[in-house]
Chain A
Amino acid sequence: MALPEVSEHLEVKYGLPRQVKFCTRCVISNQRPNSTVEYRHTSESKKQTIHFDAEGVCDACRFAERKRTGIDWAERERQLIELCDRYRRHDGAYDCLLPGSGGKDSFYAAHVLKHKYGMHPLTVTWAPHIYTDWGWRNHRAWVHAGFDNYLCTPNGRVHRLLTRLAVEKLFHPFQPFIFGQKALAPKMALLFDLPLVFYGENEAEYGNPLSDTQTALRGESYYSATAIPDLHLGGTSVRQLEADYGLDRNDLQPYLPANPEALSERGVQVHYLGHYLRWHPQSCYYYAVEHGGFQASPERTSGTYSKYNSIDDRIDDFHYWTTYIKFGIGRATYDASQEIRSGDITREEGVALVRRFDGEWPERFAQEIFDYLSLPEKEFPVASQRFERPLMTLDSFLELADGFRSPHLWRRDADGWTLRHRVWDEPAAGR
């Protein structure tokens, strides 16, 4: 077994921890970044990463532990009921807003809010970059199971350009989706006069600082901001986007945050159902199949074993491949870690799954994604000029990828690229 490589001479990108460690309970590594404030995300940004305690256990596992034993769920549910009682409308109007994709979690959330807690949710969806067939089918099934829904699809040209920029500068294809998803709900809340907004789980479930989970409200810094020209989309300032990339302020509307003053004036509050109800993704799967005809994808998602986690966007495969490149963490690691914490699989199985699937090249939609990321002059007369190679190919993509590999994580040899630290090389942690 190779000795751990902690050479001080290796460059460490993104402000990641130099030494790579794996959680002794799940399979996540200490390189996992916490949620960023994307509006300030540039190529210079340094990442905050998941915290491991003195026993080598990550925050997400500690949170899972607390979920199992340290939380009075009856009391939490009482709080939810109280909250619902306060906002419930009896005059036929909607009384809460539920952003969701039609995936298993939103199925559960919408159904339980409506049928168990007697609310009248209006659901709202921020469209994926490119729908998968089964993602679209599940979205329809969700709506037809009995929920009103507004589907917001952004201007495809703008979305593609921002995605390409995000890939070039940050190697982060999912970023435009994240902007839209976070911005949509508060704006819809204002538009429909629905101050109560429910999300599903709390991101802290997956490793954002433990303190985040203490309150049900989503951190304000994630969705409000004031000085728009200095906001960064795709690692590029709005000012520059408007000056150099042929975009105007209207093009960027869906990605800009809601006016924080308007939000506070109307008293818009964002709550996590996961704070009040004990969340178990696998149970959401069963619930969604049972109550809404949710169908798992007929094919395994690239880079993992799962067929029902986040399956509606074709760019998803690439998103997880980029996290593998930047942080050494692929889709299987995320999925397995979550399932280990929920008690659905053992760490041993998780390690075997990571070894088998993590970092798998996302072949199935590759060409479609390269076409999506390409900026032909006819469609992007201004923006295409800003790129050395406006059209994306496999080669240009792989070359770009190499620039994002941190030397402290990746070694290059005759066979290609290998991770220096792999969870299956570590001595098995007692569990």
Chain B
Amino acid sequence: MSELPPPRAAIVDYGTGNLYNVSRACQHVGLEAAITTSPEEVLSADAVILPGVGSMPEAMRSLEQNGLSDALKTVAGRGTPLLGICLGMQLLMEEGSEFTRHAGLGILPGSVARFPDKGTDGAELKVPHIGWNAVGRPPGSSGAWRDTPLEATPDGEYMYFVHSYHVVPANTESVVGVSRYGGIEFCSVVSAGAVFGCQFHPERSGSQGLRIYREFSRLLVSRQHSSF
């Protein structure tokens, strides 16, 4: 087989968040990744990582102003692997919270909802949800993580979360990971085709999280090889 240049990921910089830690995680697992604000670089990358921290409306505004929202839709449309992290995952959805009705990128059908002030037991729920929490496969979906970045992750592994909103995908089959907070079950991982999103921060989830980056990288390489 001919020598292929290693896959390159673009980390989208739209003015928010934990870019450098995402970049460090990629570096740590040997995945070439560059932080970019340029739609052209996003379009020409082998994979795109969309991180994010903060508010959805502002993020969307920034993506739109910089021509990135179109680039991302194109990337998703043609099947380039797209990894959305935290706010980045929420941006994939069609629309924001039912109260604010801000549009997301619309790459995946569904919406985003805020955690309520009380859990299912009536006790006060502190928002944002901050901390380590278990990520599990939905019941009856034992193969759900195959061929995804979660492939090597054991069911119920703990990851680090920090968020006030969670996604509500319209297509339940795309919900491949669930977690619980205050008794409320919510979607913590989506996977649909080449689009993959995690509500938690794999680059902040210790070795468990690095494993996800490693798998992501491995999938890119095998994808590259299989398309030749």
Do A and B have CB atoms closer than 8 angstroms in the complex? no
**Chain B contact residues, CB within 8 Å of chain A:** none
